[in-house]
Structure 1
Amino acid sequence: MSKFPLDVLTGTFYRLPVKTLLRFRALSKPLCSLIDDPDFIKHHLKHSLSTKSHLILILKGLHLYTVDLDSMDKATPFDDYPESIWGGTEVFGSCNGLVALSNSDLDIVLFNPATRKLFKLPVECIELPNESCVRGFVFFGFGYDHVKDDYKVVRMVRFKQGEDDDIGWFIDYEVKVFSLKTNSWRRIKKLPNYLRFMFQFYFHLMHRRGYGVYACGVLHWMLPRKPELGIVNLIVGFDLVAEEFRVLPQPDYGENEKDFVLDVGVLEGLLCVICNYDQVKVDVWMMKEYGVKESWSKLFSVGRNRSISSVRFLKPLAYSKECGDGDGSDKILLDVNGEKLVWYDWKRKRLKTVRIKGAPDSFGTFLCVESLVPLVDEKKKKQQKQEKERNHIRKKRDDFLSKGFKLVL
């Protein structure tokens, strides 16, 4: 290492995959210190995101699978992953290389697929408003608080007044936020009234299942239109920094606003809305400047064709690396109906199905970047370990002294 300038070595390491860097940690203490350094971890992640490098897809079928986004040739099952991850595990979010998973409403874990590190959240019970209430639908979300450098899980619980209550409009939600930095849950007490109308039965049927969409430091859900109550479609956001709810402005859809079902998505870190016209056609809009209504722009439309008989569900995942390189190619990877992945060239209006060996027939999709982001504060963990060792030595010394100088009367 002494023969290489540190900036040259560091710049080279930013381009390497996580698996290679983990091997390099064993070569020497200086390399290990460099790779474990928080600043290096942040710059390595930033480089991967800006260059679209080291990206993987996570497919959720009966089991969990990973697919390398560059090759997209085969799906690798999570066979050698921790016991906490099994076939029934749901994926409800991904951010900066960390994946949020749930086995139940109380059994939640954060997982880094690249480092194979897993962190189990402390169990946080659901508090019923009264004895006659029962738990209804549960919404999850996961994202990053850039101000506090903290990763947060949001759990929203809808209650019902007994099993026969399918509406639950007259009972407040419970919203709690978990902070990875403090390893604790906190209840959000100031809740807007419109949360009571968040639930829609088709959330059960969608592959996204109503999980929050993370973009620009905010988690997003779609509050569906309810004409009988005079409620219009709303994009509901939960700011992970302020820990407050907000309603975001929507595009000017024109006269057809009542003719479609809305959903939210994210593409290259920017918020999108997906307008589904009776499973015949889908429009995808993108908010290019967060929170600014005038920045909404329609990206493309996809309709039924020979390879897609109906568009029940559509999720934008990633641009092709070729986009913007001057060859006129504008391709985007789409999850269609949770059954196939396609590259869509919206300039030429062409779809190309992606064949992935070993992929499940039906799946949910999450895009994830491989990163070194830790799930615990390693510096704090090391300090705690050293303090524990010092306390152990101190106790042994005190025990020896108390026995060695004990007076026998």
Structure 2
Amino acid sequence: MSDVPMPPDVLAQILSWLPVIALLRFRSVSKNFRALIDSDYVIKLHLNHSLQTNSNSNLIFGGDRSLCYLNLDSSANVVNKIHNPLYFAIFETVILGSCNGILCLCTTEPDNEIAFWNPLVRKFKKTRLAPVKCVEGFGRGVCFKGFGYDHVHDDHKVVRLIQYCNLYKELVHSKIEVFSLKNEAWSDIGDFPYHLYNRRYSNVFANGCLHWLVSQKPELKVELQIVAFDLTTDELRFVPQPDFANEKVQFSQVNLGILGGCLSMVCNYPMMNVDIWIMKSYGVKDSWSKLISTTDVKIIKELDFLRPIVYSKSGHEVLLEKNFERLYWYDLVNKTSKRLKAAGMPRLFVTEMFTGSLVQVNIGTASQRKKGKNENNHMKKKDDFLSKGFRLVL
């Protein structure tokens, strides 16, 4: 304890305020510091503090095999290149989503190599998903993947929605499959009898559920509904949507998003205005409120796609992504926007916001877990040695 001049619980609180890069450096201070920083208590404490204070926010830019990220807390305003764990794969890399600082990367069909990756810690685990099964007469169908976290079972999951349509775009067969990282196994959940709307950005993870905009028929925008798939119960349910002007719906472009952990909906009325709604209390229809309604030319001009990404640290601004090529900070007080530019930013991109954390994902087959049992015992002995005389009461 000679190198730790204060109680461990007080030190843990202080460490939870620091950025990940600083914590990684401090692991080299001493064995006791390393044991404390690597503890589940500090990892969870740090993550919760980052989420509550809207700090340690990062943007990763994808679109091809090259990946780079921007730390929104840094004053440097420089995009940093980072190694892509799937760089040497034959097929293009797709960012499926992020949870707790873990990014899920996947190659396109039919390769299906997948990586669960913490970009700041620079560690990842890779596996390969089983190929989509063929349906006679309809081939492999169209596949849409999503990524989320089951907090009840402490399990990250990949959800695969497979749809088969005939020549008339009529839905013939549609089903949901779930891949559990904990068990490294697929589960066939059942039917999904809805047409997806806006397939470019088809799913959003919020409140333990993946969400899609769907309709009974592909051409009927006025009948759009929000469907949620609960990653804990494997159940489908409808989520109420805001009461936007019905007379405008048939002319609007609608898509889902997530902002500050809340489900959001973007309604674009071309060359008129854009509305962004936020569901403040999940599942409560009356909690939908219009956060942004703007006619700002910089935002609405030649607008094909818009989504909110993150609040600024002060909470007075919202970062918006437009057409996969521009970022804008929108001031909620003054109702003005300014473009975000950073050195090294790619010309075209798909962004994903992730919170800097020390969280890591462990996966493996049953045989690998058996093989790693001796290694775990060895690591436990090593941890006991490192933490000798350093007892953190949780």
TM-score tier, shorter chain, comes to: 0.7 to 0.9
Q: Structure 1 pair 337/83, CA: closer, same or farther in 2 (3 Å)?
A: closer
Q: Structure 1 pair 44/307, CA: closer, same or farther in 2 (3 Å)?
A: closer
C-alpha contact (below 8 Å) 2:26/2:34 kept by paired residues: yes
Give the match for residue 96 of structure 1: 100
Give the match for residue 81 of structure 2: 77
Q: Structure 1 pair 285/152, CA: closer, same or farther in 2 (3 Å)?
A: same
Q: Structure 1 pair 156/377, CA: closer, same or farther in 2 (3 Å)?
A: closer
Give the match for residue 405 of structure 1: none
- Separation of aligned partners in 2, 1:32 and 1:362: 40
Post-superposition offset of 1:127 = 1.5
- Separation of aligned partners in 2, 1:376 and 1:260: 43
- Determine which of 268, 279, 296 is the counterpart of 2:288: 296
Post-superposition offset of 1:228 = 6.0
Per-residue CA distance 1:322-356 (angstroms, 9 max, x = gap): 23xxxxxx321111222211111133221111111
- Separation of aligned partners in 2, 1:258 and 1:229: 8
Per-residue CA distance 1:36-63 (angstroms, 9 max, x = gap): 2222211110011112221110112343
Post-superposition offset of 1:320 = 1.7
C-alpha contact (below 8 Å) 1:137/1:159 kept by paired residues: yes
Whether 1:360 aligns to 2:365 is no
- Determine which of 17, 20, 24 is the counterpart of 1:18: 20
- Determine which of 113, 122, 132 is the counterpart of 1:107: 113
Q: Structure 1 pair 228/216, CA: closer, same or farther in 2 (3 Å)?
A: closer
Q: Structure 1 pair 286/72, CA: closer, same or farther in 2 (3 Å)?
A: farther
One-letter identity of the residue aligned with 1:109? A
Whether 1:180 aligns to 2:181 is yes
SS state of the match for residue 134, structure 1? coil
One-letter identity of the residue aligned with 2:106? S
- Determine which of 208, 213, 222 is the counterpart of 1:217: 208
- Separation of aligned partners in 1, 2:137 and 2:218: 29
Give the match for residue 246 of structure 1: 237
SS state of the match for residue 223, structure 2? coil
Query: Percent of pairs identical after alignment?
Result: 38
Matches within 5 A, 1:196-207: 197-198=195-196, 200=197, 203=199, 206=200
Give the match for residue 158 of structure 1: 163
Calculate the aligned-residue CA RMSD, in Å.
Answer: 2.8
Count how many residue pairs are aligned between Structure 1 and Structure 2: 368
Which segment is superposed worse, 314-323 or 218-227?
218-227
C-alpha contact (below 8 Å) 1:18/1:370 kept by paired residues: yes
- Separation of aligned partners in 2, 1:317 and 1:60: 15
- Separation of aligned partners in 1, 2:97 and 2:256: 14
Give the match for residue 388 of structure 2: none
Give the match for residue 223 of structure 2: 232
Whether 1:309 aligns to 2:301 is yes
Matches within 5 A, 1:244-393: 244-256=235-247, 257-278=249-270, 280-305=272-297, 309-323=301-315, 330-376=316-362, 385=372, 387=374
- Separation of aligned partners in 2, 1:34 and 1:365: 33
Q: TM-score, normalised by structure 1?
A: 0.82
Per-residue CA distance 1:283-322 (angstroms, 9 max, x = gap): 1111111001111111111335157522211111111222
Is the radius of gyration larger for structure 1 or structure 2? Answer: 1
One-letter identity of the residue aligned with 1:64? L
Q: TM-score, normalised by structure 2?
A: 0.85
Post-superposition offset of 1:177 = 0.8
SS state of the match for residue 333, structure 2? coil
- Determine which of 31, 46, 49 is the counterpart of 1:47: 49
C-alpha contact (below 8 Å) 1:122/1:184 kept by paired residues: no
Post-superposition offset of 1:369 = 0.6
- Separation of aligned partners in 2, 1:18 and 1:153: 26
Whether 1:133 aligns to 2:138 is yes
Q: Structure 1 pair 13/229, CA: closer, same or farther in 2 (3 Å)?
A: closer
Unmatched 5+ stretches in structure 2: 378-394
Which segment is superposed worse, 83-92 or 11-20?
83-92
One-letter identity of the residue aligned with 1:248? V
